[in-house]
Structure 1
Amino acid sequence: MFGNVSGSKRVIEHLESDIPHHSLNVGNKRMRSDGHWDAKPYMDFDSFEEEMQNMMGKTRMMMEEKEQSCQQLSMHQQVLCNELQQRDNFIQQLQKAKLEEQQKSQLEIYRLEHELYTMGNLLEGYRKALKESHKAFSEYRARCQLPVEPIYKDTGSGGLVLSTMEFEKQRLKQEEEERLNRVLLEKLVKEFESECIPKFEGHENTVKLLRDKLLVVGDKFNLLKEMYVKRKMLEMSECVATEDCSTAKESVPAEECVSAEESVSAVVHAPTEESVPVVERSPSEESVPMEECVPTEG
């Protein structure tokens, strides 16, 4: 702006410097033509004043145009400065991001180099351990040697390798032997079934008979159990009767008490005598079917 103002000042000075020369030249012309310099002083001053006003108007217009152009230039300059500042900030951000990325990549490179160095040392240790294990294994094989086995199992003890046809013949022969063995085993199984299944059936019948007899014995055992309970009840009633007899001993004779005791004992022992033949009869009766089923097993 200051530079433009100085330029406008130069324009004004130029105009002012041109005005007197023009007026002097006009005055000289008038002096030459008229020869009287002070003839029309007021008219020269008025014309000069009008000319000065015109020049000042033009100068003001020029100054306004210059000021507008200066303002526009300053606005453009401010916009350019702002854009330049934004670009500088963007460049700084890019540089900062690039620097951070470089630092990160450098750190990653250092880490990978360290891991590579560590893995190299580990691999070297594994190689040394593998060499030592191979060496120890070779020493062990030298100390404990095994008999040499043929590479191919179908060659026998170091013989020639069989051809495809010979190998197929051996396979068929082996399959035939396996088939014969299966037939023999099936025959043995059938013979065993024919011999043992009737025995198993006879045993099954015997078991059924024993089951039925066991049920009969269970029923008899329940009957004996009931009789035993009845006897216990009679004994308890006898005890009660004896207590009554002891209390009434003075009123009842001794012979009547003895006869009463004998009658009670006879009643108590009567079921036991009947139960003895039942117990003895059951095994004898059960033994007969057992003897009858023995020939069936033969």
Structure 2
Amino acid sequence: MGGKGDESVKWIVSGEGVEEVDARIPVRDRGALFGDGLFETFRVERGIPLFLEEHLDRLIRSAKTLRFARVPGEDELKGAIREAIRLNGVGSGYLRLTLTRGDGGYGIPLDRLDRPRYWVEAGEQRLDPGRYEQGIPAVVSFPARNPASPISGHKTLHFLESLLAKDDAEKKGAREAILRTMEGDLSEGASSNLFLVTRGTIRTPGLDRAPLPGVARAWTIRTARRLKLPLEETRLETAELWKAEEVFFTNSTWGPFPCREIDGCPVGDGTPGPVTRRLIRAWREDIDRQTRR
């Protein structure tokens, strides 16, 4: 996916703009060898990367927690992000920032890996309004999240569990997979955070249940409290999915979006519920404020 017209896609690789056909990473990059890296996915509207500070704060905090010896400066990363948007002429689209620990073999002490590598890609991507209007089908997938893992709660390149779950969902005609912890309770979606509405209360798995601390998840919690909507972060058992009046997901690309059925069974009456619709309106209002020039 690229920029406007017939122009080729341009990437930013460690601060330098390159054509996609010329973009390279060494075969000894630890992101490729070991999944030793992090990434952030942004929504871009009116040429502005949404929630820029929140995404970079999460990336940098995770890098420090996971013992990166050095992290590129925030101003450098912001400059690379804005340059990728400019070079590709992105008005409404996506952006991904990937950070690895750089080159190195298995036995090298982490504190010696002080030459990280990053790259940024950006392109146009229009959102389908039908996702908000009709919702999506989902399936309950295999237990995959381990709350005791040291990489739990970090957006790492170790993404195969989510890819397998997403593939299973697609083969069953669904658009999202709901992942459980090793104990069987709910954690998150393969590419989203998970929310239920039960007896008027918004409920989401607590961070101790191994979901990603999503940017849109945090926005939803803040916004629900601002709107005086009851909300709790708690442990949720799988059976509670079928007791909920509403189920919705959140991620940084879409914000909140409804789930209309799970494993072929309708959620509520099978249409987006009032709480989900209220949060979608609030998301759109917030995006408009962020991008107003």
* TM-score for the superposition, normalised by structure 1: 0.14
Structure showing greater Rg? 1
**Structure with more strand by fraction:** 2
Higher relative contact order (CA closer than 8 Å, sequence separation 6+) = 2
**Structure with more helix by fraction:** 1
* TM-score for the superposition, normalised by structure 2: 0.14
